[in-house]
Structure 1
Amino acid sequence: MYRFLLTPRWLGYLALTLVAAALMVFLGNWQLDRYRGRTAVNERIDAGAKMAPAPLRDAMPAPTGGPGTTGPAPAERVTWTRATATGRYDTSNVILVRGRTVDSTVGFEVLTPLVLADGTAVLVDRGWIPPAPGGSATAQPQVPAAPTGEVTVAGRVVASESGAGAVDRRDGKLEIRRIGVSRIARELPYPVAGGYVLLDQQTPAADPAFEAVPIGHTNNWQNFGYVVQWWLFAGMSLVGYAWVARREARRAAGLDKPRPPVDRADEPASSASA
């Protein structure tokens, strides 16, 4: 009854179905890896809110190159954990990161290099401020002055962002679209750590004009939904092949005979059409 499945045509259907199902299972497994990775990020974000800050060097090794170079990127396991460092702000090299949104308002995040005792630096994201009043979203803001003298900061360890683009210098300040640490480091006269610190505490206290940059959780459940979707598609493709094969087998065995056409002319007219 199912001998037709060994014909070249049906073997081709089977091969195509198996390849499609295998591809869908692979895509589901890929989304499962992404779900696990994003879940781990969310767990580090939550744990970082409760942990005491560790020394900066535990998270980001010191850069060993010359001026304008960067050190190793922070390991994935330490991103979004808290770290602390002490140094002096380099107020001559303030970096404005434009196009950053907080509470539906587009403004700037302000980065200032913190120069450490060994002569290297780490970029500190001091917070968000709106553009200059009355101007466009790109109107350069009045940046609150950084504290002079020794400063101790604590905050989240964040990896460099991709797609940073070019660095511009406007009115004595560096501007960039995204926080690309290596791009920014090329404009600075010292080696820079491979990640940056998103400030949440500072001694002396930070200027109240800054708004804290919110830390958003990743949407890991979206990836989990894709896992279920791809695996369901894989199962449906196999079930669909089996259903079509069974229908063909029943047709070949004469079990599914076509119904004779109905002669509507012999049917009595309904009362509605009378």
Structure 2
Amino acid sequence: MQAVAWWSPRLWAAHLIALGCVGAAIALGLWQYDAWEAHRAAERVDLTNAEPEPLTDVLGPDEPFPTKHVGRPVTVEGTWLPEGTVLVSGRETDGEDGSWVVTPLAVDGPDEAAIPVVRGWLPGVDPESAPPPPTGTATLVGWLQPGEGTGAADEDPTDDVFPQVRIADLVQRVDVDLYGGYVVVDPAATEEAGGRNAGTADLGPATLDQLPPAGTFTAWRNIAYAIEWWLFAAFALFLWWRFVRDATAVRREPTAPDDEARAVGSSP
């Protein structure tokens, strides 16, 4: 019996049905996956828009950084330590390379632990172009961030330009302990809350680099549905392969009794 070719018109319907089922299942799975990502992104942004909490209620000077509070808005009151001001390079805004301007703020007094504050963004990496650091006391609102630790090397440890906001590097510039994180000033929220002396004058706003993590079970139904649709696509492919394999397999014709006897009689 002659085998049926895979491209035979007799199998076109099977090919089209399989293509439609697999394509639809993959598309629906991608749709659910996009919904999963969108829900998680929305949850992360929601925390950055929450009501600010006092820094001291969220993080203590000797406490490890709480991961669940990444990106949380906090209010900070304290005294500026202008001698600890540095630039952090490699911060791009609207396609333009620039730097963050960071100044520590002593939370419970000038001799107490301080938290590094990203006051704003500056084009370029020249410390001479930065406005004078603020002095005196301040009240501000900003987003809490964990210290960075990418391992980037500081090409010139003697200057006032750092490659990242690393607490171990910043603490060498002041005579007090530092919190295990830093704050990015939110100028709009600071003004709305009646903050003062936030040190943002003549600086552009700094963008938030690290958003809070989404909950483990956020939008879990969407990702479960996505996996379910992709499994259906795999099953449809398997059924198509089995059907086409069986349809194209060579089948032997049944042998007639006379033919069998003739074959036996002719044998030596």
Q: TM-score, normalised by structure 1?
A: 0.61
Paired letter, 2:140: V
In structure 2, relative to structure 1, the CA distance for the partners of 1:216 and 1:151 (3 Å cut) is closer
Residue from 219, 227, 242 that aligns with 1:245: 242
Contact kept, 8 Å, 1:164 with 1:177, in 2: the verdict is no
1:147 paired residue number: 134
CA RMSD of aligned residues (A): 3.8
In structure 2, relative to structure 1, the CA distance for the partners of 1:141 and 1:230 (3 Å cut) is farther
Superposition map of 1:36-51 within 5 A:
37-45=40-48, 47-48=49-50, 51=51
1:185 is displaced (CA, Å) by 3.3
Q: TM-score, normalised by structure 2?
A: 0.62
Structure 2 CA distance for aligned equivalents of residues 170 and 30 of structure 1: 48
1:130 is displaced (CA, Å) by 1.4
Residue from 67, 84, 107 that aligns with 1:75: 67
Paired letter, 2:117: V
Paired letter, 1:100: R
1:181 aligns with 2:167: yes
1:85 paired residue number: 76
Superposition map of 1:1-274 within 5 A:
37-45=40-48, 47-48=49-50, 51=51, 53-63=52-62, 71-76=63-68, 78-117=69-108, 119-131=112-124, 138-167=125-154, 168-171=156-159, 173=160, 175-185=161-171, 188-200=174-186, 201=190, 202-204=195-197, 206-215=199-208, 232-252=229-249
Unaligned runs of 5+ residues in structure 1 are 1-23, 64-70, 132-137, 255-274
Bigger fraction of residues in helix: 2
In structure 2, relative to structure 1, the CA distance for the partners of 1:35 and 1:152 (3 Å cut) is same
Contact kept, 8 Å, 2:33 with 2:226, in 1: the verdict is no
Count of matched residue pairs:
205
SS in structure 2 of the partner of residue 147 of structure 1:
coil
Structure 2 CA distance for aligned equivalents of residues 242 and 153 of structure 1: 63
SS in structure 2 of the partner of residue 192 of structure 1:
coil
Structure 2 CA distance for aligned equivalents of residues 112 and 233 of structure 1: 51
Kindly, what percent of the aligned residue pairs are identical?
21
1:247 is displaced (CA, Å) by 1.9
Paired letter, 2:197: P
In structure 2, relative to structure 1, the CA distance for the partners of 1:39 and 1:145 (3 Å cut) is same
